[in-house]
Amino acid sequence: MNRGLKWTIIILVMLVDLVGAYFGRHVCMRYRQQYEQQQTIEKQAKEKRDFIKKIAPEAQKMQTKYHVMSSITIAQAILESNWGKSSLAKDYHNLFGIKGSGANSKVMSTKEYTNGQWVTISGRFKVYSSWNASIADHTKLMLNGTYYNSNNYSAVVNATNYKDAAQALQDADYATDPDYAKKLINIIQTYDLDQYDN
């Protein structure tokens, strides 16, 4: 074999090996990234399922006793506490952003929708011993209303479906978010929370 041809073949083989190694590495990296993304998605989904399972029994207990729909309670807890991950929920067991005063409260930052825009303000929020205590107090708020209107949430308690209950919360100014009812309904439908309604 011609010596020049031999070196050409050797160089071509080396180039093919290098190109193969590069693309092989690239494919491996891509699969690894996809695998890690899938693992993250599965972990987040499990955390969400676990959160729902943890608070659902107390929400159902409150519905049985006081007729506040479990799906609404769970959806509010999800939305207000970011799946139990907010500082207020983690550190002070307040799942619903319920305001408070005195020794059993903490000053925290919160976002409210005012004059067509989101603003950060400081507010004083209740501190609870557990998430169950927070759920029980949320139910109490629905039953007893606010200090200025004891019937403020009566339409929520008397609602016969979660869509009406969600709209009643918005109509009663539970939150400043103009899309509050829509967000609650979306959460309920996405995670089939109406299965927890008695």
137 in catalytic set? yes
Parse the chain into domains and list their residue ranges.
3-196
List 17, 58, 112, 177, catalytic entry? 112
* Residues linked to residue 108 through DSSP beta bridges, in sequence order: 123
For the stretch 143-190, pLDDT in tens is: 999 889 999 999 999 999 999 999 999 999 998 899 999 999 999 999
Provide the strand spans (E) within the chain: 105-114, 117-126
Q: Report the CATH fold assignment for 3-196.
A: Lysozyme (1.10.530)
Q: Which residues of 144-159 are buried (b: 16+ CB within 10 A; e: fewer)?
A: ebeeeeeebbeebbeb
pTM to 2 decimal places: 0.81
pLDDT class of 194 with cuts at 50, 70, 90: very high
Most confident of 32-36, 37-41, 68-72: 68-72
List 80, 137, 173, 192, catalytic entry? 137
Predicted local confidence at residue 28, as pLDDT: 62
